[in-house]
Amino acid sequence: MTTEIAGRHTISLYVANKPGVLNRIALVFGRRGYNIDSLVVSESTDAAYSYMNIVASGDPETLIQIIKQLNKLVDVVSAKDYSDEDVIQKELALFKVNCPPHQRTEVLQIAQTFKAVPEDLTGNTITLMVTGKSEKIDALREMLSPYGILELVRTGKVLISRGDHRTSQN
């Protein structure tokens, strides 16, 4: 089972691929005082529909109401909280780290431990790409912080149900 940080929830939606859908979904969260921490939208195998994966912060009781409201929206086929589900979830992050030549070996050893791939190297910086669970990316961030993280870009979670179950579809 996935373990979420207290108050953070992973919601997956299957929605009609139409203009304005994202705005209507964001309004449901905003009206309930929920913060959207990350949002990933991707096409599905059917061009008429898309998947949305949202990580949001707030109390569980409000989340139940949000999911009910989302499922009532015309363009939402289904919405489900996957916070306590056994799903495959990954995130991608790019770290640009201060890395003068005398620290390069240390930074590359840390990167290798986390299976991070060097994507760019200059005289004083290195950019690393890493994929994995959010906890892995958080741990790499902690290890690279002493070197000076100049930039960090994260995709947000993508998830898919295990086995023959369809993610966020009825």
Quick: pLDDT tens for 143-166: 999 999 999 999 988 888 888 878
pLDDT of residue 123: 95
List, in order of start, the domains of the chain with CATH numbers: 8-85 (3.30.70.260), 88-158 (3.30.70.1150)
pLDDT digits (tens, 9 = 90+) for 3-42: 444 478 899 999 999 999 999 999 999 998 888 999 999 9
- How far, in Å, CA of 31 to CA of 15, rounded? 20
Q: Which amino acid is at 155?
A: T
Question: For 98-128, how does the pLDDT look when each residue is reduced to its tens digit (9 = 90+)?
Answer: 999 999 999 999 999 999 999 999 999 999 9
Q: What is the pTM of this model?
A: 0.79
